[in-house]
Structure 1
Amino acid sequence: MAIPVLVTEDLRGSATTLGLYYTAFGAGSLLGGLATGHLHRWPLWPTTVGIVVGFGVAMLPLGLGAPVGLSLPAFALAGLIWAPYLPTSMAQFQRSISATALPRALAANSAVLVLAVPLGTMLGGPLTTGIGARRTLLLCAAATIALGLATGLALLARRRSGTGAEPTGAGPTPERPLSGADA
């Protein structure tokens, strides 16, 4: 919601400028998607938390009023960082939840994701109108960073308490990768 308003009102850009922002994000996402396969040996929780925090940090220049020369590459970086989120979080579900509970957990997750887009639109429009595009993007970037850091701290506390940061289940592990039988 806020990007078109940011480009047209704050940056005084044209439709071409808006297209450049979306193209930059798309190009970053394409590269991030291609790189996702190389993350398979990375620990899932820290990687997922890093993606969330990194995305928020990459969005900061847009909310801080950086010029196009800085905010455009930052938006491309945001796309690059965000692309592995869904595959990484799905792998986390598969590794953390038993095979019998996995369909219910994935259905619940899908319900939340399906609601997230219209809910974000419903909240983003009035927020952008009320506080402006730049402040909305800054608030969203800060909230994303805070959520990622809070999750990371909760996982560290869990690990230190002895309950482990990587829950175990009947899903795949590095020793037993995901196979067709797990799907």
Structure 2
Amino acid sequence: MTTTTLEANQSYRAVLRDRRVAGLLLGDLLANAGTGMILVAMPVQTLAIHGDVPRAVAVGMVEAAPFVLSTVLALAIGLGRVNIPPRTLLVADCVLRSLTFATLGVLALTGRLTLPVLIGGLFFGATFRMAGASSRRLLATSMVDGTGRYAVNGLLGVNTTFALYIVGPVVGGLIVATTSPGVALVADAAGALILLTAVAASTSRSPSPPATPSSPATASSSAAASRASRRPRPESGWRILRRRPVAARLLVVEFFFNFLYMPIEIALPLFVRDRLDTDATGLGLMWGALGLGAFAGAALVNQLRHLPQRHLLIGIIALWALCPVALATVETLPAAMVVFALGGLVWAPFTPVAYSFLQSGLAPDEQQQVVTLWTTGSMVAAPLGLLVGGPLIELSGTAGGMVLSGALTLLLVPIAAFAVLRPRSTA
């Protein structure tokens, strides 16, 4: 894979000097804050309208609904030859999301929202969810050259950890406690509109120069140039991965890194209650510790830009694998918070480092297919990991499940080393 020299990677401050990049990232930050509110508001809203449907089943259906159509579209783009510009996909996602959540929010506020309507709204309203998520990254990194890609990916990680997992849930909790979940739904719609405005402002083109009369020879050469500039249909992501085994192996690592993390989300509430002997407050403190550690880790990506990214990627996987193992051995809440915060610190740089390394080895016309596949694999790994995590924790126990999660993650280290340390000529 042809990578930019590490010394040339720009800092966060350098890429933010470009107003287009800064504007798009600001819109992404505010949109993530709106989505973070939904993490708290959606379960509360679901429990208020589940009716005769069992609570766990209702929450599961609501959580799964946004993945169905969005996965189909993302796979069509990643594995097929559907060629839709990232800007178009992101605009479509913002428009559909704002309309959907505004409608659901109004229905919730007026007491007319039902569970089938909520599930149906999320089913169709999230059609561009995964494609839009990858398009944010593609659009933002396309605004800089190879030396700025690492910083942009890092700043996208800062946005996610700070807005989606820290600010959003806190504000969403306050809104739900003082008003109604419907207000949070409307706020998420507003966040999508803000991102839409940022996309429009940051990607607006300068006016074309006025046309001038041209001779027949000039017109003929222009027509020939136009014909020559026509590109063939894009390759499918599958063919690209077959030709670039490094990207294929990294996709496997990306999927299982997220897949093997999910049992921890199931084990943690039980661990807090049984081992740490605390209540929901303790669970909130644990997630807060992870969020703060992750935010620090995302910010630290800026300082890691001069390190070899291949070895950094392997080190992140190994260090995160030790986190659930260490967590299973502690018996007090303060100690558990420290371990979880350190886990967030080492986990957060994984995504920006992995995406930067991946994108540096892809041609411009290969970016959308492969990055969309990566985003899809990362997001689909979550519900699949949760499905497997439940039986795993039941069979092995809370502490045993966390140790098993860490041990299996450690097995990814040699796979990751094989993926990224092979000679460049094999890519």
Q: TM-score, normalised by structure 2?
A: 0.36
* Alignment pair present for 1:5 and 2:270: yes
Which residue does the alignment assign to 1:90?
355
User: One-letter code of the match for 1:105?
Assistant: V
Give ranges in structure 1 of 5+ residues lacking alignment.
Answer: 168-183
Secondary structure, aligned partner of 2:313 = helix
Alignment-derived partner of residue 335 in structure 2: 70
Alignment of 1:53-132 (within 5 A): 53-63=318-328, 65-68=329-332, 69-132=334-397
Name the residue aligned to 1:142: 407
Which whole-Å CA distance do the structure 2 matches of 1:155 and 1:103 have between them?
21
For the 8 Å contact 2:272–2:282, the answer to whether it is kept is yes
**Distance change in 2, residues 1:118/1:126 (3 Å):** same
Give secondary structure in 1 for the equivalent of 2:363.
Answer: coil
User: Matched residues in 2 for 1:165 and 1:5: separation?
Assistant: 48
- Deviations along 1:53-102, whole A, 9 cap, x unmatched? 11111222123x22224332111000011111111111011112222212
Give the corresponding residue for 2:111: none
How far did residue 33 of structure 1 move? 1.2
Aligned amino acid, residue 13 of structure 1: T
TM-aligned CA deviation for residue 12 of structure 1: 2.1
CA distance in 2, matches of 1:40, 1:124: 34
Contact map agreement 1:53 1:149 (CA 8 A) in 2: no
Asked whether the equivalents of residues 275 and 331 of structure 2 are also in contact (C-alpha less than 8 Å), the reply is no
CA root-mean-square deviation:
1.9
User: For residues 2 and 165 of structure 1, do their structure 2 counterparts lie closer, same or farther at Cα, with a shift above 3 Å needed?
Assistant: farther
Calculate percent identity across the aligned residue pairs.
27
Show structure 2 runs of 5+ residues with no match. Answer: 1-265
Which structure is larger by alpha-carbon Rg, 1 or 2? 2
Measured after TM superposition, the shift of residue 130 of structure 1 is 2.0
Counterpart in the other structure of 1:179: none
> Per-residue displacement from partner, 1:146-182 (whole Å, max 9, x unpaired)?
21244225645x3xxxx24995xxxxxxxxxxxxxxx
Q: Are the equivalent residues in 1 in contact too, given 2:289–2:340 (CA < 8 A)? A: yes
Per-residue deviation, 1:2: 1.0
What code does the residue aligned with 1:66 have? V
Secondary structure of 1:41 counterpart: coil
Give a deviation string over 1:98-137, Cα, whole Å, max 9, x none.
2221211111111111211101111111211222111111
- The answer for the alignment partner of 1:170 in structure 2 is none
Aligned-partner residue type, residue 134 of structure 1? A
Deviation >6 Å, runs of 4+: none
The 2-side partners of 1:138 and 1:34 are apart by 28
Report how many aligned residue pairs link the two structures: 161
Q: Please tell me whether residue 52 in structure 1 is matched to residue 310 in structure 2.
A: no
Distance 1:14 1:166 in 2: 52
Mapped to 1, the partners of 2:398 and 2:302 lie a distance apart of: 34
**Partners of 1:154 and 1:112 in 2: how far apart?**
17
CA distance in 1, matches of 2:416, 2:301: 21
Contact 1:155 1:165 in 2 (8 A): no
Tell me the distance in 2 between the aligned counterparts of 1:53 and 1:78: 11
Instruction: Write the deviation string for residues 24-77 of structure 1: whole angstroms up to 9, x where unpaired.
Output: 1111011111111111222111111111111111222123x2222433211100
2:313 and 2:419 map into 1 onto residues whose CA distance is: 14
TM-score, normalised by the number of residues in structure 1: 0.80
Which residue pairs with 1:36 in the alignment? Answer: 301
